[in-house]
Amino acid sequence: MKAVFASRNRHKVEQVKILLEKVEILPLDELAPELGLEEPFATFEANALAKARAATQATGLLAIADDSGLQVDALDGDPGVRSARYAGENATDDANNAMLVALLKDVPEDQRTCRYVCAAVCVWPSGTEMIASGTCGGRVILEGRGRLGFGYDPHVVPDGDTRTMAEIPLEEKLTFSHRGRAFRALAQKLDAHA
């Protein structure tokens, strides 16, 4: 099975290739380099579907997409769907993390609970759609640690661990992470659909 992955995030591409081992992931930049991927909606699921629909329309191929982010309880679920641009459009990971830490600096650690959320979707040219999701709970720390992840990973310690997500090797992280859970669920649905 071949599919275009509607993302230009190289970290996500790497993870999805591992998680969907039965799917040949085709690069969006080669098939539809001009395609803009919009995330205008208030839910991860709606944003993921919008990207996959755009990719399948542009390429005529099965499209896979995800939308994911961090929800912090003390911030009423923010940054949420705005995780990648929390500090503004085209914000860097460092800028987003600096904003997160600034907003949480006066919040006690036991109240900095959070969860990563991922919606993973497939959209066929026929219009058939498939959706799966995954979450991974944790807490935010103010001092970032580790270089193995991206996004907010240096500041998130998953439940039951003392390491940050950026200190955990990718293969191990994919066994419990939000993206790992979402795409394993999607892979099972794809197997059943085949």
What is the set of active-site residues?
67
Amino acid at position 49, single letter: L
Quote the strand ranges of the chain, DSSP E: 2-5, 24-27, 63-72, 113-123, 129-140, 156-158
Q: Among 117, 129, 121, which Cα is nearest to 183's?
A: 121
CB-based contact 182:132 (threshold 8 Å): yes
Query: What one-character-per-residue DSSP string does 131-161 give?
Result: EEEEEEEEEE-SS---SS--TTGGGEEETT-
Which value, in Å, is the radius of gyration of the alpha carbons in the chain? Answer: 16
> 């099965």: which residue's tokens?
62
Sign of the alpha-carbon torsion through 153, 4, 52, 130: negative
